Amino acid sequence: MLLAAAHVVAGDVGLHAHNSALDVLATNNFGDTRSGSLAGPMGLFIILLLAIATVLLIRNMNARLRRLPERFPASDKAEEQPSRGGSTGNGS
């Protein structure tokens, strides 16, 4: 009988240890429970900065593209080379 009672007590301790392990795993410990936490506001601030930088970069790129000429003039070297040689490229 004493052996059976000791087994039940030891089983209760094992069960209690099992429950406390589940309690530790189930505890919300992701940083949002601390007072004075800045993870949320700091993340929002960084996202807003990235969005503003993206908008400014797109505007700058569009302004630069508008300043480019519609067609670039052909360079003199590119036009002179085929007319000077007169070869067709087949070696004759």
For residue 18, what pLDDT is reported?
66
DSSP state of 22: H
For residue 41, what pLDDT is reported?
87
CB-based contacts of 10-18 (< 8 A; 24+ apart in sequence): none
Domain boundaries along the sequence of the chain: 38-68
**Cβ(31)–Cβ(37) under 8 Å?**
yes
Q: What is the pLDDT of residues 16-69, one digit of tens each?
A: 666 777 777 777 666 556 666 677 888 999 999 999 999 999 999 999 999 999
Judge whether residue 70 has pLDDT over 60: yes
For residue 21, what pLDDT is reported?
76
pLDDT grade for 75, boundaries at 50, 70 and 90? confident
Residue 86 CA to residue 29 CA, distance in Å, equals 80
